[in-house]
């Protein structure tokens, strides 16, 4: 795990992509699920994004993942995207209040540090201090806001945060494809998994999505997935997981 990282424009850009783009996806997801069934929307989003990235990378001469790398990508994609993002999408469809979502998602860096202990990762006092201050800050920002949620919805968001954190830590120990191909393979496998879950749960399009619904899907494919998720996977390879998940403290829910 990198202990010191040279600050580069690419690293700064990756953090900015998370802080700015993923901060907007909560609202966009909420708009999207007004037209799309939640699992279907998440599945279509990631499958399209993954296939576009995969096709572009193969066109540029990037080798296809090996069977071993596909299996690793499936595991990480399942934890991060199918369980993590899929759980948040389901919770937003269930009407979880933004304050509850923000508080639950803010536990992600804490889960990341705790899961890291299983692999013997050393946690600095500065990281613990950052976790505590971040949680306090999110709590203060949501004082007086609507904190109502069904136990089902609240549990979904908390499960999603824990799954995302575990997948983030585990990814550093898995034989994933090199570079952006890892993001493409994870999105393809997660998208297919989510669409299977959508079919098994009986989701159906009651009517054609509105223009806002299509716009939300397009934004999530291009910016929320191809750009921001690739930036996140880059950060996981180059900084400590607690730093990569710090976006949970600046992204509004």
In a domain, 1, yes or no: no
Neighbour count for residue 218 (Cβ, 10 Å): 15
Alpha helices (runs of H) in 117-227, residue ranges in sequence order: 125-141, 151-170, 180-200, 211-219
Q: Alpha-carbon distance 29 to 24, whole Å?
A: 9
Does the structure show a pLDDT above 80 at 88?
Answer: yes
Q: Alpha-carbon distance 229 to 235, whole Å?
A: 10
pLDDT above 90 coverage of the chain, percent: 51
In a domain, 146, yes or no: yes
Mean pLDDT of 225-242: 90
Does the structure show a pLDDT above 90 at 225?
Answer: yes
In a domain, 31, yes or no: yes
Q: Alpha-carbon distance 97 to 148, whole Å?
A: 6
In a domain, 2, yes or no: no
pLDDT at residue 56, as a whole number: 97
Neighbour count for residue 126 (Cβ, 10 Å): 9
In a domain, 116, yes or no: yes
Closest CA to 22 of 139, 102, 132: 102
In a domain, 185, yes or no: yes
pLDDT at residue 233, as a whole number: 92
In a domain, 216, yes or no: yes
Does the structure show a pLDDT above 80 at 184?
Answer: yes
pLDDT at residue 98, as a whole number: 63
Does the structure show a pLDDT above 90 at 78?
Answer: yes
pLDDT at residue 152, as a whole number: 78
User: DSSP letters of 188-212?
Assistant: HHHHHHHHHHHHHTT---SSPPPHH
pLDDT at residue 144, as a whole number: 55
Does the structure show a pLDDT above 70 at 215?
Answer: yes
What pLDDT, in 10s, does the model give residues 41-53? Answer: 999 999 999 999 9
Mean pLDDT of 231-244: 87
Q: Alpha-carbon distance 7 to 168, whole Å?
A: 21
Domain that holds residue 68: 9-249
- State pTM to two decimals: 0.86
Q: Which residue has the higher pLDDT, 89 or 56?
A: 56
pLDDT at residue 57, as a whole number: 97
Closest CA to 171 of 226, 240, 247: 240
Q: Do 225 and 46 contact (CB within 8 A), yes or no?
A: yes
What pLDDT, in 10s, does the model give residues 101-149? Answer: 767 777 888 888 889 888 877 777 777 777 777 767 666 655 555 555 5
* Number of domains the chain contains: 1
Q: Alpha-carbon distance 97 to 202, whole Å?
A: 25
In a domain, 4, yes or no: no
Category of 207 on φ-ψ map: left (φ > 0), alpha (ψ -120 to 50) or beta: beta
Mean pLDDT of 5-11: 77
- Which tokens is 229 given? 């998720």
């Amino acid at each position: 795990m990198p202990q010191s990282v040279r600050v580069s424009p690419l690293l700064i850009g990756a953090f900015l992509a998370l802080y700015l783009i993923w901060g907007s996806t909560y609202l966009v997801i909420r708009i999207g699920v007004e037209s799309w069934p939640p699992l279907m929307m998440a599945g279509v989003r990631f499958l399209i994004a993954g296939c576009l990235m995969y096709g572009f990378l193969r066109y540029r001469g990037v080798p296809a993942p090996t069977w071993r790398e596909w299996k690793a990508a499936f595991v990480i994609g399942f934890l991060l995207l199918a369980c993590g993002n899929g759980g948040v999408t389901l919770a937003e469809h269930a009407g979880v209040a933004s304050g509850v979502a923000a508080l639950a998602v803010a536990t992600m860096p804490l889960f990341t540090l705790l899961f890291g202990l299983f692999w013997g990762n050393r946690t600095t006092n500065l990281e613990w201090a950052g976790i505590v201050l971040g949680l306090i800050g999110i709590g203060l920002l949501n004082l007086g806001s609507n904190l109502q949620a069904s136990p089902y919805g609240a549990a979904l968001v908390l499960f999603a945060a824990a799954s995302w954190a575990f997948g983030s830590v585990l990814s550093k120990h898995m034989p994933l494809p090199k570079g952006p191909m890892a993001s493409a393979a994870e999105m393809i496998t997660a998208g297919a998994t989510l669409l299977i879950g959508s079919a098994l749960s009986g989701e159906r399009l009651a009517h054609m999505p509105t223009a806002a619904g299509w716009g939300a899907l397009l934004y999530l494919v291009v910016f929320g997935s191809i750009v921001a998720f690739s930036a996140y996977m880059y950060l996981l390879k180059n900084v400590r997981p607690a730093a990569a998940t710090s976006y949970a403290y600046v992204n509004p829910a």
